[in-house]
Structure 1
């Protein structure tokens, strides 16, 4: 019985992949991350004795490509099929292939010359990447480029010795403005990283911490927000001057990004990332136990949360939200829950909760930061001001949080007045006017448009989750069309594109749009998905896993209570997060 279930799961994963592939008939808008990963292993089979099972499974995939056609590898597009196939025995695998031969979509795929061409292109891409890496290393060995004599262990010893010194940043790096130096390319990056490291520069002859801090200022900070004066990431440099855990967290975050642009040094920076992360966590634990500088602790947690949200996608790793746990150990009166780091963390949690079912919310022990009345003390004059690194106002964030709380609150006193509360929040959203005086011109237009996407998305979220309006309801259709048009108008690269790009509104728009409009959204963000690290790829993967369920909904039903929760149920998705992980929508 269990064997039959495994076969069914493998077929479901295949059908999901075929559905996903159908969204891009020419395969130009696919995310090739999972395909390339599997293809690289199929091309270069493991030889280690302890990987015999993996080799056997990969050989089966390789033979499948030979017999049915190379296009079958594209079925790994969602990252689900290979591990499902690994659960099958030989007899089941043959039955699996036999059943696929009866599906028209599968037959079209394996006969599609475009699919074969794409696979050939990906193989050449993998070949070139490996060749380039080998050539770079050969160059280092032959002409002394880089640090030949130093081993990775020696590099780590250097890091340790420099990190044992007092936690002050390099004095030569001004904190008030973004720098340019010889270690950075003259042209700005078009993604979230605004200045890219110069790959030809001999970076390892410079001090690593100086380099990482310089990259943090030049590369990371400018891409966080268009509002330079309220850029929290820049202000954290001052905190890092006096707080060692913040300094280590900052260095870890910088190392995790910079390795993406210096391929030949990627492993060194990965080790540096791990080292600084470990140091940050250890020092943070000591700070909390000694009761030292709790506000600086929140700054450290913000950086660690950012780091894990864009890096730790492994299902076995801890959820990025675990970094909010420090607020559960610190009495509320000892930290400023209106500080920028605290509000950043609140924002991430509020948005993530919208992608949880009522049952999950009721069974979740919320962090103390979510329970305190963080909004009560916000001055009325400031409540609608757009926050720099959040992209929306605090009043709007509070309303989104209130909608989720209202949906999950099962107290009879609340239930009796739920409709009245919902109407009140709807009125708040209708009358909300978000503003900013910090920027002007095109930058102001982008800031206001971004904040407006959150307002429109919140209205859709309220109508769907509290009123039960489906995506076919005229009110939702109108709002969704307006939201999608606004999202499409926002820049996805260049100087006006920042990390405040509206991921949560994108999610809301995608699950309330028809297939064509959803495809338009997907195509719009190709450059983001394939660009610098962000939370968007995981969100796209989640949306893709809901697509079949969305397509099966009855267009005649304009109202159905509980459909939002049903959509989020794990059994309706072939590619869901484990119960202990939240979808990061910020």
Structure 2
């Protein structure tokens, strides 16, 4: 077997070249093994300079992950409150954070092995004896062969099994001598060592809550974690969690286990890439897409290990592989009427995650050349985002913080910009761009966790509510955070359309007006706390700073980035903030504000955005990750 290296130009604004196939070597007749984009990462974790993150003084990390280091009144014991809907919410017993802006986030200590007990005040989650330092956890320490990972309910949480509920009478009988359940009770897939348990629990209890304020569509928990019975998927999740734990407790034992789990996931991905049945087998394709998404996410957050130019970013190559898999099992190719296609939540989640990564890589990458552009092919790309009713297409999803319809519009803007470059005199493309602009200006997005579709259609745009808030106001509910985040994205997409589609300069009054609305939305958003998650609008904040010609706009962007990076947690934000600060040093000189009159015809206007993209591409060492 030989390995096909990841070489050659990969047009980000086009499909992955058709090299993803098993071929026969011309001389030996042996099959050529297709390797995943992550093959060269095997056994490399822990070999590069680590981003060791010191424990925060107040004991809380309340940003893109959520956990507490605080001490409990009784060692190994934390309490949990039972809500009316039956959900179990951990009650943090650590000292409160001395900050009015960052309330303490209820969190489970990240390395607890949990077994349920019942008391008269609720549920206590008792931990088995364990060392306080995760570096002391070893795979051979105790026999956990019976342990399994938790099954998930329809909302994606990991509640205590209904079989473990003790009636009031039984409780009275065992009050003085409660009986502990076996560790594997109410669980499914087996996990054979102690460290893997800790990784899994960190993923479920600490990483997933930092992904989205929307519980029903937090796909990392509701959809991906439900696939934990598949070893490759589970290993990818555990490896990802181990990366974060290593930041706080760097240990050779942890790094070795992260590498072992990464190898399991990568080997399974390679196996699926070389499986001829995977192309038409929806179950295998879904497994491939999920593993690829998780490994791509790990490549995104492992910023110190990202591939630099001329190599292509592994995270993007991974998502392009996933896009190909989605296309192969596209239900639209098998049904006469796409309007009647119904997709399950996993398919929707995968479509959004893959589409989000690939589509949001396009705004700051060069357009596909006029010679290579296939209008029919590119116009239909990402069509799998549009299946469902109008109501379903405009629903805000926790995987991206806005609707899949809005995500599809971003791809259409990029396509129109490429078509305008290919046929500058055609009147069709400017008309299409104007149609997209009208749609964006009237767009209403909704979430069942904030307001209904009917209320959204009848109500004002969310920006109206934002403009009514007093100076210094900060969002303090998940419902408001959901709606303002989606509105921030809508306005940012309008700005992107104006600048790249309509070629309006960044100092144009209409662009500045929308940037002002964008700044207003960003100013009311928290940058840490229970309502701050990865659902936060990273690209809109970056766009505000990138296009700012008004000092206040740049300051709003700077303040958001500065505040977010202060939280001691790994993320893709710090390198993007560094990029933005470097751009500020040259954009006004290399792309000056000429204040010339804007021509009436779009084709006659200066396509300055492409000059900006070219400058960023030449000056930055890697492809920007805007997610």
- TM-score of the two chains, using structure 2 as the length reference: 0.58
In the other structure, the counterpart of 1:450 is 485
Task: Give yes or no for contact 1:245–1:279 (8 Å, CA) kept in 2.
Answer: yes
In the other structure, the counterpart of 1:544 is 581
- Aligned 1:62-81 pairs, distance under 5 A: none
Partner of 1:490: helix, strand, or coil?
Answer: coil
In the other structure, the counterpart of 2:272 is 287
- Aligned 1:1-400 pairs, distance under 5 A: 169-171=148-150, 176-177=156-157, 207-236=194-223, 238-263=225-250, 265=251, 267-288=252-273, 289=275, 291=278, 293-313=284-304, 314-316=306-308, 318-327=313-322, 330=325, 332-334=327-329, 338-358=347-367, 371-400=381-410
Task: Give yes or no for contact 1:287–1:297 (8 Å, CA) kept in 2.
Answer: yes
CA distance in 2, matches of 1:474, 1:148: 57
- Is 1:583 matched with 2:562? no
CA distance in 1, matches of 2:441, 2:581: 31
CA distance in 1, matches of 2:379, 2:322: 6
CA distance in 2, matches of 1:343, 1:207: 34
Q: 1:413 to 1:216 in 2, by over 3 A?
A: same
In the other structure, the counterpart of 1:51 is none
CA distance in 2, matches of 1:442, 1:329: 38
Q: 1:498 to 1:572 in 2, by over 3 A?
A: closer
Partner of 2:477: helix, strand, or coil?
Answer: helix
Task: Give yes or no for contact 2:203–2:241 (8 Å, CA) kept in 1.
Answer: yes
The alpha-carbon deviation at position 528 of structure 1 amounts to 1.5
In the other structure, the counterpart of 1:514 is 549
CA deviation map 1:399-421 (0-9, x unaligned)? 11100111112443994312101
Q: 1:157 to 1:472 in 2, by over 3 A?
A: same
Partner of 1:170: helix, strand, or coil?
Answer: strand
CA distance in 2, matches of 1:208, 1:361: 53
In the other structure, the counterpart of 1:429 is 440
Task: Give yes or no for contact 1:245–1:297 (8 Å, CA) kept in 2.
Answer: no
Task: Give yes or no for contact 1:227–1:388 (8 Å, CA) kept in 2.
Answer: yes
CA distance in 1, matches of 2:534, 2:434: 32
In the other structure, the counterpart of 1:202 is none
The alpha-carbon deviation at position 280 of structure 1 amounts to 0.2
The alpha-carbon deviation at position 357 of structure 1 amounts to 2.3
Task: Give yes or no for contact 2:499–2:609 (8 Å, CA) kept in 1.
Answer: yes
In the other structure, the counterpart of 2:119 is none
CA distance in 2, matches of 1:331, 1:467: 31
The alpha-carbon deviation at position 541 of structure 1 amounts to 2.3
Q: 1:363 to 1:354 in 2, by over 3 A?
A: farther
Task: Give yes or no for contact 2:386–2:405 (8 Å, CA) kept in 1.
Answer: no
Any stretches of 5+ residues in structure 1 without a counterpart?
A: 1-36, 41-143, 181-204
Q: 1:236 to 1:245 in 2, by over 3 A?
A: farther
Query: How many residues are matched?
Result: 408
Q: 1:368 to 1:170 in 2, by over 3 A?
A: farther
CA deviation map 1:70-105 (0-9, x unaligned)? xxxxxxxxxxxxxxxxxxxxxxxxxxxxxxxxxxxx
- Is 1:566 matched with 2:611? yes
Worse-matched range after superposition: 378-387 or 519-528: 519-528
The alpha-carbon deviation at position 294 of structure 1 amounts to 1.3
In the other structure, the counterpart of 1:459 is 494
RMSD: 3.8
Structure number having the greater helix percentage: 1
In the other structure, the counterpart of 1:405 is 415
Q: Give the structure, 1 or 2, with the largest relative contact order (CA under 8 Å, sep 6 or more).
A: 2
Task: Give yes or no for contact 1:217–1:234 (8 Å, CA) kept in 2.
Answer: yes
CA distance in 1, matches of 2:435, 2:379: 24
The alpha-carbon deviation at position 259 of structure 1 amounts to 1.4
CA distance in 2, matches of 1:495, 1:549: 37
CA distance in 1, matches of 2:374, 2:256: 34
Task: Give yes or no for contact 1:226–1:388 (8 Å, CA) kept in 2.
Answer: yes
Any stretches of 5+ residues in structure 2 without a counterpart?
A: 1-48, 53-130, 161-191, 332-342, 452-475, 599-604
Worse-matched range after superposition: 333-342 or 219-228: 333-342
CA distance in 2, matches of 1:148, 1:498: 28
- TM-score of the two chains, using structure 1 as the length reference: 0.62
CA deviation map 1:266-290 (0-9, x unaligned)? x433332222112101012223415
CA distance in 2, matches of 1:353, 1:361: 16
CA distance in 1, matches of 2:616, 2:542: 19
CA distance in 1, matches of 2:152, 2:624: 36
Task: Give yes or no for contact 2:489–2:540 (8 Å, CA) kept in 1.
Answer: yes
The alpha-carbon deviation at position 172 of structure 1 amounts to 8.9
CA distance in 2, matches of 1:148, 1:495: 28
The alpha-carbon deviation at position 376 of structure 1 amounts to 3.8
CA deviation map 1:4-31 (0-9, x unaligned)? xxxxxxxxxxxxxxxxxxxxxxxxxxxx
Partner of 2:406: helix, strand, or coil?
Answer: helix
2:522 to 465, 487, 490: 487
CA distance in 2, matches of 1:463, 1:509: 13
The alpha-carbon deviation at position 567 of structure 1 amounts to 1.2
